Every structure is written in structure tokens, then in C-alpha cells.
Amino acid sequence: MKPMLIDGGLDPADEAYAAQFVERLLKAAITAGASDVHLQPQADRLLVRWRLDGVLQPVGEFPRGRRADVVTRLKVMAGLLTYRTEVPQEGRVRAEWLANAKKESSGTDPRSADSWPEMRVSTFPTIHGERAVVRFFSGKGRWERVEQLGFDTDVTEALCTSLSATSGALVVCGPAGSGKTTTVYACLSEILARDGGARSLVTLEDPVEQVLPGVSQSQIAPEAGFDFATGVRSLMRQDPDVILIGEIRDRATVEAALTASLSGHLVLTTFHAGSAAEAVTRLADMGVEPYALRSGLRAVLSQRLLRILCACSQTTREPALLAGFPLTSARIATGCPDCYHSGYRGRRPIGEWLEIDHEGIAPAVLARSDTETLARRAQAAGFTSLLERACQAIQTGWTSPQEVRRVLGWRASWQ
Ligand SMILES: [Zn+2]
């Protein structure tokens, strides 16, 4: 992408340069579907990048000079102290600015009137001046049904079936940025869509990332003694049917979650783990009694997000480009203006689904088996691993071997 796209026709000597530059940059980022914009000052220029589908991409480099005002402009929009440049700051872009931008853009393009999402600006002092990151928040739920997430059909069905259960805990795991939160939010929306108001839905989050109408959402405040574990115990007196616990971080939380799940509540939560089998063993390592895991945990979904190849992708038979996958050909990324030369457009999840109440799995959980043993048992019981799902995705042609390696790493190999 050429820098021209952002400041073409703008005069850096003009007073209004920074304001115009920022508006164009933010509009372009929103149009492209970026999640963050990074403005990084260097000795003589301002480096602009944005994160598209989870990957940081260069947008352009601009000589410094008046352009240093660009970060100041963002600080003004977010109500930050412009004269404090030596400390990190953060704030939301103020409502007046957003309202104004909406009004202006609605005059020319009615569709873009609602397209300004909530934005948060954070600054950080560096040796070359302040660096700024703008983060976009979509605000309302993008996914209203589990089916829309894009998992393979069998995973979608298993997930939907488990949501009609009236007890048990469902753990969604993966590293940061693997889409766990999106999945649990879609699960809540799915329950709402199916049951209407027939079930009482409550959440404990840190932070609340999306507002879901019909769900009673709470932000925990550990400094006031209101953490996940105490929150779950207090919620028991609020007669809930479904409880979302933002994340399991300690033994107290997992014990509270399992107690709730064993006493007739459907518990949804997320956990930081590399695979479904690893999640089970790590929960056990936290000191949870095996029988509580065996009976309280219903299923674990381990997931990753893979970028979807753009229509400009090409077929290759080059062994080096197959990245060690047992295939004879694959689609690989090239790049065109439509995909901002990244070769990809959008992302889709892949997931491995491990049901605990299975004759091959339950005894292994009770016996405190290690991750490898559990993974082998799962394999024998016919579970499809993330790597197998990824390989199927390459075969289908919606993603590339390089993308799978980027996300799953090179250590993942075929036994
Ligand atoms: Zn393309």
C-alpha cells in the first residue's frame, strides 16, 4: 500500500494537516477492517502500520516535521494531556469527536454514518518521541449465532448441543488472540436466540468487551475483593442458569466454576492453553480434584484463527512451499489491492473438541494422565486435532501452509 493513499493531496505545511491526516488514516483503517493502528516515531520519520486479521502490516512512512503533530492530534481527540509527553497515557476518543465525524461522513455516504466504532488511544514515550496505538472496538456483537463463527460443522454441532445442557463447564482455550472471547460471546447470543428469556444469563468479566442485551454483565474489581472466585460464589444466590466466567487464572476460580457447574449451572469460561488435552492436564495441575474435573467439566474447545486466502491466491506444487504438510499441492498467498497485498481477507477459526464424558477420556482424567497420554487417548477415540483440521483447511484451499505454520508453529508435525 502506498503512503499516497493516506496523505495524497494534503499539504504538510498546512495548519489542518494533522487533523486531516488522522481522519483519513482512521477512515482507511476502519474500511480495511484493521483492529489497531500503530504510529511509531523514528529519528526522521513516522512509521504507520495497522493490524489486519491479527498481523501487523506497514501502511506507510512519513517524514517527520509537522507530522509529529499527528500523535498530538490523537491525544486531543482522546482527551489526553498533550503537554505530558514523558509518561504513558490512555483514553477513549471523545464522544463529541465521534459524533462530529459521523455527522460529516453521513452527508456524503449514509452507510458510513454508523461505521465509526469506539476507539481507544494509548501513548508511550520512546527515545524518538511518543508512540501511539489506536484500538478499535466493534461495540456490538459481530456473531449472533455459533454457526456464524465458521467452525467445521461437527464442532459447531457439538458446541451447540452442549449449550442446551443445564449443567457442566465448557472451557474454550487457546493463546491470546485466538478468538476465545468471540466464541463465548457467540455462545451467549446463541442461548439467548434459542431460549429467549427462559434462562438467566450472567457474566463476570475483566474487562467487559461487548455489551450483550439480555445478559447481566459484571466487571470484576479484584482490588475491592470482587474477583472471579468470590463473584461466582455470590452469583449462586442470584439464581442464574448460565454463567460466563471471563477467564480461569487460578485454583480458586476453577474450583468455584466446577462447584457451580456441578450444582446445576451451565458454566462457560476461557483458559490459556495450547491444546484441549493440555488444558485438562493444566487444570488438574492447579490442584483440582480429578473427580471434580471428571464430573464438572463437560468439554474443552481448543481453537485458533487462520487467515482466509484472498481470491488472488495461487496453486503450488513446490515441495518447499508445502511447508512439510503431506500434500502434493496447496493454495498460497500472492497479494492484490483488494487484500492490501497481504494475500488474505478475514479469518476463520479451527477447533478441536474434547468431550470429557467419553469412555476413552474420563478414566484418563481420573488417573491424572499427562498431556501426551490424554492426546493419544483422544486420537484413539476419534477426535480430530487442530493440526488435522488445519491440514483439511489447506486441502480445501481456504488457507495456506504458511499461515498454518505461522499460527501453529513448526514443531507441530505428523506422527
Ligand atoms: Zn488479494
What does the pLDDT look like over 45-93, one tens digit per residue?
A: 889 999 999 999 999 888 776 656 889 999 999 999 999 999 999 999 8
The proportion of the chain whose per-residue pLDDT surpasses 90, expressed as a percent, equals 73
**Distance from the alpha carbon of residue 47 to the mean position of ligand 1, in angstroms:** 24
Provide the 3-class DSSP secondary structure of residue 354.
strand
- Answer yes or no: is pLDDT of 171 > 60: yes
Instruction: Enumerate the β-bridge partners of residue 130.
Output: 125
For range 390-412, the mean pLDDT? 93
Question: Which grid coordinates belong to 359?
Answer: 469412555
Instruction: Enumerate the β-bridge partners of residue 202.
Output: 216, 243
The domain defined by 4-137 folds into Beta-Lactamase (3.30.450)
Helix H segments across 11-139? 17-32, 69-77, 95-108
- The pLDDT value given to residue 19: 87
Largest separation between any pair of C-alpha atoms in the chain: 73
- The pLDDT value given to residue 105: 58
- Answer yes or no: is pLDDT of 97 > 90: no
Strands 242-245 and 297-309: unpaired
- Answer yes or no: is pLDDT of 415 > 50: no
**Distance from the alpha carbon of residue 305 to the mean position of ligand 1, in angstroms:** 19
Non-local (6+) Cβ contacts of 210 within 8 A are 138, 139, 140, 141, 185
**Distance from the alpha carbon of residue 126 to the mean position of ligand 1, in angstroms:** 35
The CATH superfamily label for domain 146-408 reads P-loop containing nucleotide triphosphate hydrolases (3.40.50.300)
Judge whether 191 and 201 are in contact, CB under 8 Å.
Answer: yes
**Distance from the alpha carbon of residue 16 to the mean position of ligand 1, in angstroms:** 34
Peptide bond into 12 cis (omega under 30): no
- The pLDDT value given to residue 88: 96
**Distance from the alpha carbon of residue 345 to the mean position of ligand 1, in angstroms:** 7
Ion ligand 1 neighbours, Cβ < 5 Å? 310, 312, 336, 338-339
Distance separating alpha carbons of residues 163 and 235, to the nearest angstrom: 20
- The pLDDT value given to residue 95: 73
Distance separating alpha carbons of residues 245 and 251, to the nearest angstrom: 13
Q: How confident is the model at residue 111 (pLDDT cuts 50, 70, 90)?
A: very low
CA-based nearest residue to 286, from 242, 321, 256: 256
Judge whether 280 and 356 are in contact, CB under 8 Å.
Answer: yes
- The pLDDT value given to residue 1: 46
Q: For 139, what's the count of Cα atoms within 13 Å in the CB-facing half-sphere?
A: 7
Distance separating alpha carbons of residues 52 and 29, to the nearest angstrom: 9
- The pLDDT value given to residue 117: 82
Question: Which grid coordinates belong to 158?
Answer: 457439538
Provide the 3-class DSSP secondary structure of residue 174.
coil
Judge whether 265 and 240 are in contact, CB under 8 Å.
Answer: yes
Q: How confident is the model at residue 265 (pLDDT cuts 50, 70, 90)?
A: very high
**Distance from the alpha carbon of residue 136 to the mean position of ligand 1, in angstroms:** 23
**Distance from the alpha carbon of residue 308 to the mean position of ligand 1, in angstroms:** 10
**Distance from the alpha carbon of residue 338 to the mean position of ligand 1, in angstroms:** 5
**Distance from the alpha carbon of residue 87 to the mean position of ligand 1, in angstroms:** 40
Question: Which grid coordinates belong to 165?
Answer: 445442557
- What average pLDDT is seen over the chain? 90
**Distance from the alpha carbon of residue 69 to the mean position of ligand 1, in angstroms:** 33
- The pLDDT value given to residue 104: 66
CA-based nearest residue to 330, from 320, 340, 341: 320
**Distance from the alpha carbon of residue 333 to the mean position of ligand 1, in angstroms:** 8
Q: How confident is the model at residue 3 (pLDDT cuts 50, 70, 90)?
A: very low
**Distance from the alpha carbon of residue 398 to the mean position of ligand 1, in angstroms:** 13
* Domain extent listing, the chain: 4-137, 146-408
- The pLDDT value given to residue 262: 96
Neighbours of 198 (CB within 10 A): 9
Judge whether 115 and 30 are in contact, CB under 8 Å.
Answer: yes
